[in-house]
Amino acid sequence: MAAKIIDGKMRAKEVREGLKNEVLALKSSGTIPKLSVILVGEDPASHIYVSNKEKACSEVGIASEIHRLPSNTREIDLMKLVAKLNDDKNVHGILVQLPLPDQISEENILNSILPNKDVDGLGAQNMGMLVKGEGDPFIPCTPQGIIDLIKTTGIEIKGKNAIVVGRSNIVGKPAAILLLGQHATVTICHSRTLNLKEIISKADILVAAIGKPRLITGDMIKEGAAVIDVGTTRTAKGWEGDVDFDSAKEKAGYLTPVPGGVGPMTIAMLLKNTIKAASKK
């Protein structure tokens, strides 16, 4: 039976509609939520992502500003800009677009963002709280969007075998922790995993976030599995996911498309986190 295609674009729109009301409520109490985005260098994909974030902010009524810095920016100068935004009472969320040029330590920069403005949730404090299950941290946007899509589609997570392919700090690791928090039995696979095919074939829920176009084909997927494709690689054929869509849709029970699956959810969750930051103030 062909898989049900999970429409991330539609769900993201629904989330944004709900957020508009929250922005109105904040504004009527005198707070204009504001996101500051820092983009260093010329990576074309990053420029597209950042423009999309700016558009999405304006659509729901969040103020935004983009700081575009040259690729030879020194770490100390980026630190100074982050410090300035940390001190700016009108800025509620700070996002440093990744990847950063080689001369800048991603770790130093992400950890220099005040935890209560770290709307990407990638700093050590928010990530540590997420792992420990403490308090109310900012949750990284893509994994948060994945869980939203799974839950709103009505897929049961509790007790299921969830396999996450990819161990990045942005997606794989936090996605695994969130699935664990929803009581899945979680396995993380990566580029060095032996017998990947055998492990993947056990997945009731499969999250593919390894950045290798079409690595996962229908023959590897368990009949009826929920397959969430986070891969977005630009190839000669356009944007491609980690999952071979045509063969996967014959085996999976649910499948996210690329584009139009997880991507729009990432931005919707960023808006949600920014409103949360402004509300906490």
User: Which residues are known to be catalytic?
Assistant: 53, 97, 120
Within 211-250, strands assigned E span 226-229, 233-235, 238-240
Q: Does 97 sit near ligand GUN (CB under 6 A)? A: yes
- Tally of CA atoms within 13 A in the half-sphere of 255 that contains its CB: 27
Contact positions with ligand GUN (CB under 6 A) in 12-31: none
Spell 210-246 as b/e; 16+ CB within 10 A means b: bbebbbbebebbbeebbbbbbbbbeeeeeebbbbbbe
**Is 120 one of the binding residues for ligand GUN (CB under 6 A)?**
yes
- Which of 141, 188, 220, 225: binder of ligand GUN (CB under 6 A)? 141
With 0-12 / 13-18 / 19 or more C-beta atoms within 10 angstroms meaning exposed / middle / buried, residue 206 is buried
Question: What is the helix (H) or strand (E) element at residue 16, kind and residue range?
Answer: helix 8-28
Q: Tell me, by CB under 6 A, how many residues bind ligand GUN.
A: 9
Q: Which of 15, 81, 96, 196 binds ligand GUN (CB under 6 A)?
A: 96
| Residue among 120 and 148 whose Cβ is closer to ligand GUN | 120
Using rule CB under 6 A, residue 50 touches ligand GUN: no
Closer CB to ligand GUN, 200 or 228, in the complex = 228
Q: How far is the CB of 266 from ligand GUN (least distance, A)?
A: 6
Q: How far apart are CA 92 and CA 119, in angstroms?
A: 9
Can you state the angle between helices 141-152 and 172-181, rounded to 10 degrees? Answer: 40
Asked if 142 touches ligand GUN (CB under 6 A), the answer is yes
Residue for token digits 């100074």? Answer: 80
Closest approach, Cβ 49 to ligand GUN, in A, equals 6
Whichever of 81 and 200 has its CB closer to ligand GUN, that residue is 81
Binders of ligand GUN in range 148-187 (CB under 6 A): 170
